[in-house]
Amino acid sequence: MFWRRKPEEASEEAPDDTRDVDRATAAPRPDAPPDDDAIANDGPWEPDPADFEPDAAWGPGGAAPTDPEQPPERSNAPIFFDAPEPIPVRPTVEPAGSLDQGLERTRGGFMSRLRGFLVGEDGGPAWDDVEETLIGGDVGAALAMDIVENARRRRDPGGAEAAVRAELASLLVKREPGWEPRPSVDGGPAIILIVGVNGTGKTTTIGKLATRYAAEGRHVLLAAADTFRAAAIDQLMIWADRAGVQIVSHAPGADPGAVVYDTLDAALARGADLVIADTAGRLHTKSNLMDELTKIRRIIDKRIPGATPETFFVLDATTGQNGLQQAKAFHESVGLTGIVLTKLDSTAKGGIVFAIEHELGVPVRFVGVGEQAGDLLPFDPEAFVAALFG
């Protein structure tokens, strides 16, 4: 089901003010929706799209407000809703691939060379070659030096390979078992903001997450807040249709903050369990674009005070250390709570996982090991290390 903005229609006798409240009398308009209490007591309000007219009072094109602490301005027409349909509890999504299969290239690439140097030609480890191999596997130069130095000091009974394996495992962030996105405010939805640069698989990741959580029976709502990239809204709508979830969108070029604000409105009215927001892809070197993410965080707190959304950075595993620099910039700007590592099956340099978690102290939450919806897997540190050395 799609919730969209109704396109503006020309009218010869448009009223002076088409908002829900008459500014002159502060009285509700006759065709205004009921308040939140009425929605809670009488069920979801379902307006007739034919009753609405363009909302010119909010300003053309939904321009961003000058005061960042005020709610965002809306675009030219209010949301209308399709006829409600029950959200089915879908069968569990079976992964089309596995972590072990997804790491086949990494295992046959830098890990194969690493294990060879740990044995060495004379039965002893060739530590200089081990260090170079770790650097080539996207672990990073400084970190590779520390791993080798610490492994040499360990004198592990299992040998050099066991020592390096233990050092790599120690770099991964401690995390709570069975993590799931949870609401931070009673009665509100859990919120996940998806950030990153274009081309990393950001929108596809949202579709896969929506499919996973809808299959668990959650009421998922998507926010199409990437309003600037061509076809981003249409792409997300396709994924919403595949996953059987609802989506809120505005016209292309609208204010992303307004999309998020309206999505939270809809989530509260409909009792959604989870909101996943797509945000505009941006270069980490553009401070004005990064500030837009900070604005969205303020909007969330304005609409649901006390809400603490998860902020996931989508990183293409094939970009290596360059991707790590992107993640650092985003973390400094908005405070990341998780990493989604895509295209892990397409690289022979899986060492980027260790570099990310060590440098940022942020856990990798999901890894992509294929193109299918079920190929986005929850990240298990122990299983990851075991698959690398398997």
CATH number at residue 366: 3.40.50.300
Check whether residue 206 and residue 279 sit in a common domain: yes
Check whether residue 221 and residue 341 sit in a common domain: yes
Q: What is the mean pLDDT of the chain?
A: 76
* Domain assignment of residue 310, yes or no: yes
Check whether residue 126 and residue 222 sit in a common domain: no
Check whether residue 137 and residue 272 sit in a common domain: no
* Domain assignment of residue 381, yes or no: yes
Beta-sheet pairing, 338-342 with 310-316: parallel
Give the pLDDT of residue 334: 83
Check whether residue 232 and residue 268 sit in a common domain: yes
Give the pLDDT of residue 190: 96
CA atoms of 128 and 108, how far apart (whole Å)? 20
139, 170, 201 — which closes off a domain?
Answer: 170
Check whether residue 152 and residue 241 sit in a common domain: no
Check whether residue 262 and residue 315 sit in a common domain: yes
| Mean pLDDT to the nearest integer, 55-74 | 43
* Domain assignment of residue 154, yes or no: yes
Higher pLDDT, 255 or 275: 275
| Mean pLDDT to the nearest integer, 41-62 | 40
CA atoms of 66 and 273, how far apart (whole Å)? 32
Check whether residue 166 and residue 292 sit in a common domain: no
Check whether residue 165 and residue 198 sit in a common domain: no
Check whether residue 198 and residue 290 sit in a common domain: yes
Q: Largest alpha-carbon pair distance within the chain? A: 91
Residue 248 has pLDDT above 80, yes or no: yes
Tell me the pLDDT band of 22, cut-offs 50, 70 and 90.
Answer: very low
* Domain assignment of residue 77, yes or no: no
Residue type, 330: F
Give the pLDDT of residue 372: 82
Q: Which domain range does residue 103 map to?
A: 99-170
Angle at which helices 110-119 and 127-136 pack, to 10 degrees?
Answer: 170
Tell me the pLDDT band of 23, cut-offs 50, 70 and 90.
Answer: very low
pLDDT over 70 for what percent of the chain?
72
* Domain assignment of residue 123, yes or no: yes
| Mean pLDDT to the nearest integer, 129-138 | 90
* Domain assignment of residue 31, yes or no: no
* Domain assignment of residue 316, yes or no: yes
User: 48-57, 76-85, 286-295, 319-328 — which one is most confidently predicted on average?
Assistant: 319-328
Check whether residue 111 and residue 257 sit in a common domain: no
Tens of pLDDT, residue by residue over 259-304, are: 999 999 999 999 999 999 998 776 545 566 677 888 899 999 999 9
* Domain assignment of residue 6, yes or no: no
Check whether residue 160 and residue 204 sit in a common domain: no
Give the pLDDT of residue 322: 82
**For the chain, how many structural domains are there in total?**
2
190 has which bridge partners?
274
Angle at which helices 381-389 and 110-119 pack, to 10 degrees?
Answer: 70
Characterise 19 by phi-psi region: left (phi > 0), alpha (psi -120 to 50), beta (else): beta
Cα dihedral 143, 320, 128, 116 sign? positive
pTM equals 0.75
